[in-house]
Homo-oligomer: A and B are copies of this chain.
Amino acid sequence: MKLLSTLSSALVASVICANAADLIQEAKDYGLAPLPKDQKGIDLILKENQIKASKFSEQKAELGKKLYFEPRLSKSGLISCNTCHNLGLGGADGISAAVGHKWTANPHHLNSPTVYNSVLNSAQFWDGRAGTLADQAKGPIEAEPEMATPAKLAVEKISSLPEYVQEFQKIYGKEGVTFDNIADAIANFERTLITPSKFDKFLEGDKNALTKEEQAGLKTFLDKGCATCHNGVNLGGTMQAFEVANKYKFANLGDFKGDANGMVKTPTLRNVAETAPYFHNGAIWSLTEAIKEMGSIQLGIEISDTEAKSIEKFLHTLTGEKPVITYPQLPVSTEKTPKPEL
């Protein structure tokens, strides 16, 4: 009896393994790929995506970390990149539409996407208007309903803080503090925000990294066609047509219509279990519901509750390990520092 049970366990295990190998291959065929292991790996992906970025350096990333947490980059002195892309909250803010300077909601009711792994997106912003993280970083700093700091004021503020000036000169030479360099440093920090998960281990060949249920979820995810748009290393991050098969239930919330061709950036699914609410307008709070809605409007299929729950199990495997961030000590304001404007 014991022998039989052992034999049967071994049989089940070998079937799972065979299936797992097929499943890994199938996922790869859909373009899913494990996260790069280092900055060189990120460079390769940027090259594939034809994205230009300055050469990465730890020094830039360390400076960029300060700037990422720097509320004085906002006009009020209260809002930093981390306010809407909170590194403790999956890299997002957990509210439907971003709120910024003077408590102004995003005029198009757009939801803040996660900053984690964002370097791996082939486009930034929901309408994909920025190609690089550095270009993206400038947007919210200057936007009136976000940090409301014109480029000139941002440079004036950072230039009033001698520690920053020295650090910029050390890194960027004579150029020193410029708006481009501020954005470049932030982008370099954001390049370090990579979150490997057990799904990466699975793709790398560790067949036991995902449970049977999670593997079944991945299979459903692939079979239903989710990976048509949620593909590549970031399971998203590329521009895709929206409302392909049906109208989106909450299309009336916000006036966002995508880019000039109606294309919208597919959000990454990495850490998706941590970044409710969902969609460009943050209209849906439940992941199950979001999965079903996507099935309907993008794929024109009905995803059952059971299937959605199964896919959800897989999506949870994309919750990655976050880099350990030491909260930065910021340079002390001087009498030259432009005063906060509230």
Contacts and interface: CB of A to CB of B under 8 A. Distances in A.
Interface of A: 66, 69, 71-72, 76-78, 83, 86-90, 93-95, 99, 102-103, 105, 273-274, 276, 285-286, 322, 324-330, 332-333, 335, 339-340, 342
Contacts of A90: 332
Per DSSP, chain A at the interface is loop
Oligomer copy total: 2
B273 A332 contact: yes
Contacts of A71: 86, 89, 93-94
17 contacts: A71-B93, A72-B94, A76-B95, A76-B99, A77-B94, A77-B95, A78-B95, A88-B328, A88-B329, A94-B340, A95-B342, A102-B103, A285-B335, A285-B339, A325-B326, A325-B327, A326-B327
Interface centre among A69, A72, A76, A327 (most CB of B within 10 A): A327
A99 B76 CA distance: 10
A328 B105 CA distance: 27
Contacts of A340: 94-95
Contacts of A333: 94, 276
Given A78-B93, A95-B78, A102-B103, A327 B327 contact: yes
A323 to B, nearest CB: 10
Given A76-B99, A99-B76, A105 B330 contact: no
Contacts of A326: 324-327
B78 A83 contact: yes
A322 to B, nearest CB: 6
A287 to B, nearest CB: 9
A21 to B, nearest CB: 31
Contacts of A105: 342
Contacts of A276: 333
Given A103-B103, A285-B335, A89 B342 contact: no
A146 B234 CA distance: 38
Nearest to A341: B95
A335 B286 contact: yes
Nearest to A328: B88
Given A87-B327, A89-B330, A95-B342, 9 more contacts: A66-B88, A71-B89, A77-B94, A78-B83, A78-B93, A95-B340, A103-B103, A286-B335, A327-B327
A108 to B, nearest CB: 16
A90 B285 CA distance: 37
